[in-house]
Amino acid sequence: MRREMPPTAGLPLSPRELFGAGGGFSRAALEYLDARHGALACSGTACLVLILSALHRLTRRRTVIVPAYTCPLVALAVAHCGLDLRLCDLAADRLDFDLTALARLCDKDTLAIVPTHLAGRVARVAPVKHIAQGCGAFVVEDAAQSFGARRSGRSVGLEGDAGFFSFAAGKGLSLYEGGLWVAREPALASAIERAQNETLAPDAWRELRRCLELAAYALLYRPVFLPWVYGRPLRRSLKKGDLPEAVGDVFPADIPLHPVGAWRQGVGRRAISRLSGFHRQTKIQAERRLAALDRLPGARVFRDTADEEGVWPFFLVCLPDRQSRDRALNRTWGAGLGVTRLFIHALPDYGYLRGRVPPEVCPNARRLAAHSLTVTNSPWLDDAGFERILALFRQALA
């Protein structure tokens, strides 16, 4: 029977976690982070909308600075709030902002700067805060891909003024869709709560759909079922040459804004008790496999520094050039091995975002998009499967 690896190391749900009392996820998630102020919304994108809406009510500023290489949903959230997007290029050697470029972009109209903890790695927030303080801007940490990541023992998302996490399908912990926002100071938390109370409205039909999707996720997020629910749509998109569709990069402009129902919250509350153990398991596996990826000729894997403890849903790997990256993908993408791409483009290069994203020059972001791929860190990918990926990559790099 064919098996398919997921592109990320998501926490599989146990059938018994589908049954029991509902509610309580917000409190459990905040306790997991050791955070005091925050609440649950229907997605990480919705959380960003609530945060930006609250910040905009506190000041007339309108500009939000985000990385040029990030999820297109970030751009859609800024547009939804009626704010102005400004892109900052990445540093040449990290997933962080180019700080020189960031300082140049900030001015008296800068409302917020959004450092991003991308791919489970930990962004450097302190220098961003220093620049933000110089122009009077807020810092909002995008930790959508990094729930559980820490710096010096403290959760990401808590160093800036506010932050948000995602519990979408395939994340470490999934409610199928869901998000948590956090705020450092009580006053800002109260402002975000007011925005939430005024913005989120019950949506029974959408919540019913999410419940059914979460139940299906609990059943079908297994290697024996993934060829049908993940692999077949992926290979269909690849055959058509629709790469943004293949990685799920295309999103509608309409952003759902509703509460998460009690049943899904209860599922998440029961599952979160296993998350620390799952993160330890994937970290041990990642540490064993990082050295092998490092030995690939010309390859570079993004990893943590001494005070950082990220999470490992997948490895973000840069190959020497676009040609070798494409050869590696041609041998592995669609082969059921859990190899894919994070985002297809830098933000200015998505056709459907034109008019919402300014046409900025961002060579480092574009280079990352052109040279990178991801390799799953799912525990279901055994050593033989990982060795097969390495062999195919070596062929591509020869």
pLDDT in tens, 137-166: 999 999 999 999 999 999 999 999 999 999
Cβ-Cβ contacts under 8 Å for 67 (sequence gap 6 or more): 87, 88, 90, 95, 97, 114, 115, 116, 118, 365
- Both tokens of residue 13? 């749900």
Would you say residue 329 lies in a domain? yes
CA distances 108 to 21, 80, 135, 258, Å, are: 49, 22, 6, 33
Would you say residue 301 lies in a domain? yes
- Which of 299, 301, 259 has its CA nearest to residue 50? 259
- Both tokens of residue 294? 């490092």
Would you say residue 150 lies in a domain? no
Q: What angle do CA 194, 196, 199 make, to 5 degrees?
A: 110
| Average predicted confidence (pLDDT) for the chain | 96
Distance of CA 205 to the CA centre of its chain: 26
- Which of 339, 276, 381, 286 has its CA nearest to residue 11? 276
> What pairs with residue 357 in β-bridges?
354
pLDDT above 90: percentage of residues in the chain: 97
Would you say residue 369 lies in a domain? yes
HSE value, Cβ hemisphere, 13 Å, CA-based, for 296: 24
- Which of 9, 12, 7 has its CA nearest to residue 313? 9
Tell whether the model's pLDDT for residue 395 goes beyond 70: yes
Laid out side by side, the sheet with 162-166 consists of 37-41, 179-183, 162-166, 138-142, 110-113, 63-67, 84-88
Q: Specify the number of domains making up the chain.
A: 1
pLDDT above 70: percentage of residues in the chain: 100
Would you say residue 289 lies in a domain? yes
Would you say residue 378 lies in a domain? yes
Tell whether the model's pLDDT for residue 253 goes beyond 80: yes
* pLDDT tens track for 85-109: 999 999 998 999 999 999 999 999 9
* pLDDT tens track for 114-144: 999 999 999 999 999 999 999 999 999 999 9
How far apart (Å, rounded) are the C-alpha atoms in residues 284 and 288? 7
CATH at residue 361: 3.90.1150.10
Tell whether the model's pLDDT for residue 1 goes beyond 70: no
Provide DSSP, 108-141: TTEEEE--B-GGG-----HHHHHHHHHHT-EEEE
* pLDDT tens track for 309-368: 999 999 999 999 999 999 999 999 999 999 999 999 999 999 999 999 999 999 999 999
The residue range of the domain holding 363 is 274-397
Would you say residue 390 lies in a domain? yes
Tell whether the model's pLDDT for residue 21 goes beyond 90: yes
* pLDDT tens track for 262-303: 999 999 999 999 999 999 999 999 999 999 999 999 999 999
Would you say residue 319 lies in a domain? yes
